[in-house]
Structure 1
Amino acid sequence: MSATDRPDRQEDALFSARTVALLLAFGIIGFAGMLVLGAYAPDLRSGQNGGAHALSNAATGYRALVELAEATGRNPRIVRDPHLFNTADLLVVTPESGATNITAALQDRDYKPTLFVLPKWQTKADPEHAGWVQRIGLLPLAEPIGVLAPGVRFTMRRERMADRKLVTVGLPPAVALRSPRILQVITGITAPEPDEDEEETEPLVLRPLVTDGNGGIVLARLGDAQRYVLADPDLISNRGLRTAAQAAAALAMLDALDERPTKGIAFDVSFNGFGHAQSPLKLAFEPPFLAVTITLAAALLLVGLNALARFGPIAPRERAIAYGKAVLVDNSAALVRRAGREAGMGARYAAVVRDRAARVFGAPPRLHDAALVSYLDSLGGAAPFSPLMRDAEQATDRPALLRAARALHAWQATKMER
């Protein structure tokens, strides 16, 4: 067959080597991307569901306040994990109903500033604009009252007011907040009914910081702890910050609640359904475990390159047990050698040679053992048989056994030549 008649394997192949390499590269990149996206998927949720939280662009959301704090260097951040509530920064909690369990925001934060923003509006999604909402009406007062209940239970009211400046108590003049059209205020606090097993404690004092001037409290401090309650969310919501003056007053209020020189603001969204726990997969892409992940990826890459760079055909594996009588003898000898019984084979080999020589040389059948050995000695020759047999029987190691076996074989060959 000529060179032109041989089939071209490259043309007959279903995929070229380049195509296979590209498919493999795209598969590896896609798999790695899927792992990374799976690890960080909770952090990539936009939060544009029209809720009243720090990720929402709706009228009742607080995204504008987060962006203002970012633009003015107040170091805001979104907190999705309740385990991160141990921060010393001001924590802004925005539960959307009285049934939200905010226990995690109350633990170990007596001396860390925490602002609870009470809910106010009932909304529904705007079908014409994604992420926007339409107001249905006001929530029942039981919802804002129930946020801190049963430990703290307020009495509240709502009142219609014109655009009027609210009264501040002990706050900087920059906190010049103006009331919305419908203002939600706290009018008092009711003491919880004591349990029979608990000791009586002093009643919680409600310290007003911003009021409506008519006995209603808009911003209050709960006792001596650094816990604050904002009764009306419209003072800091996206709709409420529609003027520059109101936005500046809202930022000044947040500054007043955190007296530390180095400040930061943590906006919680875990109570709004955007929380997540630490993921082992996410830990693999963050220090200090990121170094281990990179090392493993590099090792896999080197293994793949080594597999691609191999040369020559794949060498077939040899059979564990080959065919033929010679191989059977070799395997039997290997077993004897591994068992360490070679030295004990000398006497048996000498007996085999003796019996074979008796048949070949026609020794009388009545002769056995010593008599048969004497008969073989009488055959003459350069060396008698008995010393050779004795050397084989007395061999204690492999070299001595090998010498005795060769001598017996040579004696037998010499006799047969004669």
Structure 2
Amino acid sequence: MSDIAISPKAADGALFRGRTVALMLAIGIAGFAGMLVLGAYAPDLRSGRNGGAHALSNAVTGYAGLVQLAQATGRNPRIVRSTHAFDTEDLLIVTPEEGRTNISEALIQRATRPTLFVLPKWQMAADADHPGWARYQGLIGLYEPIGVLAPGVNFTMRQYRSGGGVLATHGVPGRFWAPRPIQVITGIDQKNKRQQDRWRKLTPLIDDGKGGIVLAQIGDGPLYVLADPDLLNNRGMKELSQARSALALLDWMNSTDADGIAFDVSSNGFGHSRSPLKLLFEPPFLAMTLAIVVALLLAGIHAFGRFGPPRARARAVAFGKAALVDNSALLIRKAGREARLGGRYAAAIRERAARFFGAPARLRDGALDQYLDSLKGKQRFTDLMQAADAASDRHSLLDAAQALHDWQGDKSR
């Protein structure tokens, strides 16, 4: 029997054309690849324009102006979003916005490398009329800047209205004007038992001339703390002389083996951890990813070119009497019963010869055989019938059947 269902002939037109299917596949593959790439690099694509005090912000308290200025002057600034990137000789600028910000990784990894911590000063609120902008709400509470390095370093600090005069510098380049108002460090709490001994030393580099420290070196290593961020933020970069002094100050802090300046934003909520998905699109794994993509593309092309459109399978058993006879003969041949059909074939020839030669209808079996033997010819019908009945294999059966066929032909002439 057939394993193909009997059904009406299918329509010539397909549901979708080949070009339509190819276009759908191309759009689907491109969309899937785009989703993977965006998922891997989504943290890097965040603009950071939330009005905060960090290197991505273009608000008045942000540092995007300093980053752009460093870029324009060939100082190779870069945005750092992971603590794994702290392992560099470049000057690292960390701008925590709250006292509870975790800066332990920077303190641990940057013990002998130049690092500048800029303390928070302003309390800001997002500007509803201008996305990415922020408005002053006033000075931040002193517990916030004091808490940035606490308890390892516990400062005493002060905020007051300044006259805007020139700040005093000690061994550092540049000329800075005092912000209005100004935020300064007045000392270190030496009674703090949890304070690190190596950070009990406080060296003024820029001060207000009244005992307040604006920029200090902590300990004997390259750890610097800027008490007032207005010397480096977008507010301070509006003055050309202040901007020049800021770049000169960063160059002085940077180490001799530095290639640029690193601005950390991981402490501002824009960090990300290492992603296995991102590794697929970066060297050295990028070569493997491209090889897999090319292999899949070649496999797809090979599949389309080799097989083409699908074809309906032919029926295992065809329609019609001839197909039925052929199938029956095939079954008999596979069963090995061909030799046993000789007697039946001879009986069929006898019935046919009786009608063809006009034998009387009353004659049956032996009487009919005698009548056929009486017909003139070289061979007797009964001898041929016995030979067909006695056939033991396919070849002997074929010879007997051929002899019966020839006997019938001779009698017809």
TM-score, shorter chain, exceeding 0.5? yes
Does 2:256 correspond to 1:260?
Answer: yes
Change (3 A) 1:81 1:163: same
Could you tell me how far apart the structure 2 residues matched to 1:107 and 1:283 are?
Answer: 26
Give 1:21's aligned amino acid.
A
Q: Which runs of 5+ in 2 are unaligned?
A: 1-8, 317-329, 337-391, 401-413
What SS does structure 1 have at the residue aligned with 2:184? strand
Could you tell me how far apart the structure 2 residues matched to 1:328 and 1:277 are?
Answer: 73
Could you tell me how far apart the structure 1 residues matched to 2:262 and 2:205 are?
Answer: 21
**Cα RMSD (Å):** 2.8
Any conservation in 2 of the 1:80–1:275 contact (CA below 8 Å)?
A: yes
Displacement of 1:317: 11
Any conservation in 1 of the 2:154–2:192 contact (CA below 8 Å)?
A: no
Please name the residue that 2:187 is paired with: 188
Please name the residue that 1:242 is paired with: 238
Could you tell me how far apart the structure 2 residues matched to 1:325 and 1:61 are?
Answer: 94
Could you tell me how far apart the structure 1 residues matched to 2:22 and 2:312 are?
Answer: 24
Deviations 1:315-342 (A, max 9, x none): 96999xxx9698799xxxxxxxxxxxxx
Within a 5 Å distance, the mapping from 1:173-212 to structure 2 comes to 175-191=174-190, 193-194=192-193, 201=197, 204-212=200-208
Please name the residue that 2:88 is paired with: 87
Could you tell me how far apart the structure 2 residues matched to 1:89 and 1:269 are?
Answer: 15
Change (3 A) 1:14 1:161: same
Please name the residue that 1:309 is paired with: 305
Deviations 1:199-238 (A, max 9, x none): x947711000000011000000001011000000111111
Any conservation in 2 of the 1:152–1:192 contact (CA below 8 Å)?
A: no
Does 2:279 correspond to 1:283?
Answer: yes
Change (3 A) 1:284 1:259: closer
Displacement of 1:67: 0.4
Could you tell me how far apart the structure 2 residues matched to 1:261 and 1:82 are?
Answer: 20
Please name the residue that 1:48 is paired with: 49
Aligned match of 1:229 in 202, 225, 230? 225
Deviations 1:68-115 (A, max 9, x none): 000011110000000111111100000000010100100132210000
Deviations 1:166-216 (A, max 9, x none): 1000112xx101111100000000135437xx9x94771100000001100
What SS does structure 1 have at the residue aligned with 2:282? coil
Any conservation in 2 of the 1:191–1:203 contact (CA below 8 Å)?
A: no
Change (3 A) 1:103 1:306: same
Report % sequence identity. Answer: 58
Deviations 1:24-61 (A, max 9, x none): 11111111111111111110000011110000000110
Any conservation in 2 of the 1:57–1:131 contact (CA below 8 Å)?
A: yes
- TM (normalized to structure 1)? 0.71
Change (3 A) 1:14 1:176: same
Any conservation in 2 of the 1:151–1:192 contact (CA below 8 Å)?
A: no
Could you tell me how far apart the structure 2 residues matched to 1:67 and 1:184 are?
Answer: 25
Any conservation in 1 of the 2:124–2:135 contact (CA below 8 Å)?
A: yes
Could you tell me how far apart the structure 2 residues matched to 1:14 and 1:207 are?
Answer: 80
Please name the residue that 1:137 is paired with: 138
Please name the residue that 1:107 is paired with: 108
Change (3 A) 1:207 1:44: same
Within a 5 Å distance, the mapping from 1:376-387 to structure 2 comes to none
Could you tell me how far apart the structure 2 residues matched to 1:180 and 1:325 are?
Answer: 109
Give 1:127's aligned amino acid.
A
Give 2:215's aligned amino acid.
L
Could you tell me how far apart the structure 1 residues matched to 2:313 and 2:18 are?
Answer: 24
Within a 5 Å distance, the mapping from 1:335-350 to structure 2 comes to none
Any conservation in 2 of the 1:153–1:192 contact (CA below 8 Å)?
A: no
Within a 5 Å distance, the mapping from 1:263-274 to structure 2 comes to 263-274=259-270
- TM (normalized to structure 2)? 0.72
Could you tell me how far apart the structure 2 residues matched to 1:89 and 1:155 are?
Answer: 29
What SS does structure 1 have at the residue aligned with 2:124? strand
Could you tell me how far apart the structure 2 residues matched to 1:324 and 1:98 are?
Answer: 92
Any conservation in 1 of the 2:153–2:199 contact (CA below 8 Å)?
A: no
Could you tell me how far apart the structure 2 residues matched to 1:14 and 1:227 are?
Answer: 71
What SS does structure 1 have at the residue aligned with 2:237? coil
Any conservation in 2 of the 1:124–1:135 contact (CA below 8 Å)?
A: yes
What SS does structure 2 have at the residue aligned with 1:170? coil
Could you tell me how far apart the structure 2 residues matched to 1:110 and 1:267 are?
Answer: 17
Could you tell me how far apart the structure 1 residues matched to 2:86 and 2:234 are?
Answer: 24
Please name the residue that 1:171 is paired with: 172
Displacement of 1:259: 4.0
What SS does structure 1 have at the residue aligned with 2:214? strand
Could you tell me how far apart the structure 1 residues matched to 2:278 and 2:245 are?
Answer: 39
Give 2:62's aligned amino acid.
G
Does 2:122 correspond to 1:125?
Answer: no
Change (3 A) 1:202 1:28: closer
Aligned length: 319
Change (3 A) 1:201 1:51: closer
Could you tell me how far apart the structure 2 residues matched to 1:151 and 1:202 are?
Answer: 10
Give 2:61's aligned amino acid.
T
Displacement of 1:8: 7.1
Please name the residue that 2:99 is paired with: 98
Displacement of 1:162: 2.2
Displacement of 1:15: 2.2
Could you tell me how far apart the structure 2 residues matched to 1:49 and 1:317 are?
Answer: 68
Could you tell me how far apart the structure 2 residues matched to 1:192 and 1:83 are?
Answer: 34
Q: Which runs of 5+ in 1 are unaligned?
A: 1-5, 330-408
